[in-house]
Amino acid sequence: MAEDAIDERLLAAARTCVLAYGVRRTSLTDVARRAHVSRPTVYRRWPDVRTLVSDVLTREWKTVLTAGGRVPVTGSGRERLVAGIIAIAEGMRDNSVFRKVRDADPEHLLPYLLDRLGTGQRMAIDLARRGIADGQADGSIRPGDPARLAHVLFLAVQALVLSAMAGHDAIGREVMREELRTLADSYLRG
Amino acid sequence: MAEDAIDERLLAAARTCVLAYGVRRTSLTDVARRAHVSRPTVYRRWPDVRTLVSDVLTREWKTVLTAGGRVPVTGSGRERLVAGIIAIAEGMRDNSVFRKVRDADPEHLLPYLLDRLGTGQRMAIDLARRGIADGQADGSIRPGDPARLAHVLFLAVQALVLSAMAGHDAIGREVMREELRTLADSYLRG
């Protein structure tokens, strides 16, 4: 089997384990067993199970961001960006891996909410930054540092998505879409 | 000493303990010793140290919200609300008790970020809700359920404040003020 096919099989096995057990309770032994490879085979590719699971989560971000970026929209740069943001926000909210992490291992999210941005968050901000630059080029988005606007917008959207994933005291699913549209559109218009 | 003076002394002692040790490492014994009262005296007023510390944090919210609500501003309901939101956001960001909890006991914040609103958060949303109703009455804020608008606005503002309290990858302190103004003002204008 080609090297990258083994990587792929391991990432898929790790994803299945995260869905079943969460982040903390996924062990390298579980992943190796499920992928029908030896533990040393895993260790030749990832230094530990945390790094492997991290890669699973980054891939999940990529999937959601790619799907959201593919939404067929026309209109101004701002309209396209707002439509993309809503699609990505709904993709995040409904993603089974993220939902499992949120429910089983909320403490895993803490550093990314309080201390530093993870790879997936930085990818999302970068995507927004490019959309903002496009919208500024066609005059549909107000002037301002695209990286700064993207960062602020990301934090606000993330907060609404996390609330919409919760139960009581939360922003409802329908409300999220509508208010996200107003929030993002009005913030970008200025 | 009057009963409420003892309550007051215990709340002040608990606040000092939280500032020194954080939430998790504050014990009822520490608080009683610092307030020069016996442990049973504390237990007659609070069932446990967690409840006492909870009351300390709720009072801290009240202090910040009251100070922010007192900002002398004129103008439309929307202008007054935006000025109040910025004052409260800066008060939260710079509050020594909240900073200590964030640094020493971030896991204490997790349920309030993911699962349910705490008393202080609900007070903040309620304050915003009343400001929104005022702004709708004078036509400076767009129509829409004031409770819903207040909730969305609160989540976005809270995310920016938490980011501005962090180190790297964070929204800068100056940036927070400027972008908060644009975000809140444009969202409320619609």
The CATH number of the domain where A136 resides is what? 1.10.357.10
Same domain, A91 and A122: yes
Same domain, B29 and B55: no
**Cβ within 8 Å, pair B155-A155:** no
Report how far residue A113's alpha carbon sits from residue B93's, in angstroms, rounded to the nearest whole number: 15
Same domain, B159 and B68: yes
Assign A144 to helix, strand or coil.
Answer: coil
Q: Is the pLDDT of residue B14 over 80?
A: yes
pLDDT band, residue A1 (cuts 50/70/90): low
Q: How many CB atoms lie within 10 A of CB B21?
A: 15
The whole-chain average pLDDT of chain A stands at: 94
Q: Is the pLDDT of residue A3 over 90?
A: no
Q: Is the pLDDT of residue A174 over 90?
A: no
Min CA distance, B134 vs chain A (Å)?
20
Same domain, B35 and B99: no
Same domain, A33 and A56: no
The predicted structure's pLDDT at residue B118: 95
Whole-model pTM: value is: 0.95
The predicted structure's pLDDT at residue B133: 98
Number of structural domains found in chain A: 2
The phi-psi region of residue A166 (left if phi > 0; otherwise alpha if psi is between -120 and 50; otherwise beta) is: beta
Same domain, A101 and A36: no
Same domain, A5 and A60: no
Judge whether B132 and B150 are in contact, CB under 8 Å: yes
pLDDT band, residue A32 (cuts 50/70/90): very high
Chain A positions in Cβ-Cβ contact with residue B159 (cut-off 8 Å): 155-156, 158-159
Report how far residue A134's alpha carbon sits from residue B57's, in angstroms, rounded to the nearest whole number: 44
Is the minimum CB–CB distance between A39 and chain B shorter than 8 Å?
no
**Cβ within 8 Å, pair A187-B186:** yes
Count contacts between A and B (CB, < 8 Å).
97
In terms of Cα–Cα distance, which of A12, A55, A50 is closest to A34?
A12
pLDDT band, residue B1 (cuts 50/70/90): low
Q: Is the pLDDT of residue A131 over 70?
A: yes
Is the minimum CB–CB distance between B114 and chain A shorter than 8 Å?
yes
Domain containing residue B53: 49-189
Is the minimum CB–CB distance between A123 and chain B shorter than 8 Å?
no
In terms of Cα–Cα distance, which of A36, A10, A187, A14 is closest to A100?
A14
Angle at which helices B173-189 and B146-164 pack, to 10 degrees? 170
Chain A positions in Cβ-Cβ contact with residue B186 (cut-off 8 Å): 186-187, 189-190
- What ipTM score was computed for the predicted complex, to two decimals? 0.94
Chain A positions in Cβ-Cβ contact with residue B110 (cut-off 8 Å): 106-107, 109-110
**Cβ within 8 Å, pair A160-B152:** yes
Q: What are the tokens at B17?
A: 């303990």
The tens digit of pLDDT for each residue in B27-52 reads: 999 999 999 999 999 999 999 999 99
Is the minimum CB–CB distance between B158 and chain A shorter than 8 Å?
yes
Same domain, A32 and A126: no
Is the minimum CB–CB distance between A152 and chain B shorter than 8 Å?
yes
Report how far residue A46's alpha carbon sits from residue B59's, in angstroms, rounded to the nearest whole number: 48
Same domain, A73 and A167: yes
- The H or E element containing residue B62 is helix B49-69
Is the minimum CB–CB distance between A173 and chain B shorter than 8 Å?
no
The predicted structure's pLDDT at residue A74: 84
Q: How far is CA A142 from CA A76, A137, B64, in A?
A: 13, 10, 32
Same domain, A92 and A35: no
Same domain, A124 and A67: yes
Min CA distance, A52 vs chain B (Å)?
23
Q: Which of B109, B155, B190 sits opposite A163 (nearest CB)?
A: B155
C-alpha of A132 from chain center: 19
Report how far residue B161's alpha carbon sits from residue B177's, in angstroms, rounded to the nearest whole number: 10
Min CA distance, A107 vs chain B (Å)?
7
Phi, psi of B149 (to 5 degrees): -60, -40
